[in-house]
């Protein structure tokens, strides 16, 4: 799990950092703000937000996309760790 999330988060963080540093497209401040907010927010609050958005009956998965997935397996854990570690790694790269 640690190797998988490390590789995924560093790859995603490198892409986000390159986007923030080398493009003139709009949305850079929004992405940077979301990254900073996820670093500042306590992990418990972030976990609750992810569950409310992407859980079995979450707002995004069930209401908007109509998906019926189970995010509580190893894939969900890897996805949430990747999201958390990307937020920490992107501003520093």
Alpha-helical (H) ranges within 1-93 are 2-22, 28-40, 43-54, 74-89
| Residue 93: pLDDT over 70 | no
The DSSP annotation for 46-61 comes to: HHHHHHHHHSTT-III
What is the pTM (predicted TM-score) of this model? 0.68
Domain map (residue ranges) of the chain: 26-55
Binned at pLDDT 50, 70 and 90, residue 67 comes out as confident
Quote the DSSP letter at residue 93.
Answer: -
Handedness of CA 65, 13, 8, 39 (dihedral sign): negative
- Position 3 scores a pLDDT of 92
């Amino acid at each position: 799990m640690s190797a998988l999330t490390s590789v995924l988060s560093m790859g995603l963080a490198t892409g986000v950092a390159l986007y923030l540093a080398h493009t003139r497209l709009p949305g850079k401040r929004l992405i940077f703000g979301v990254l900073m907010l996820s670093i500042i927010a306590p992990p418990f609050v972030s976990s609750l937000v992810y569950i409310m958005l992407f859980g079995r009956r979450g707002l995004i998965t069930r209401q908007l996309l109509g998906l019926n997935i189970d995010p509580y397996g190893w894939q969900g854990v890897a996805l949430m760790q990747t999201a958390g570690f990307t937020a920490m790694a992107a501003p520093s790269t």
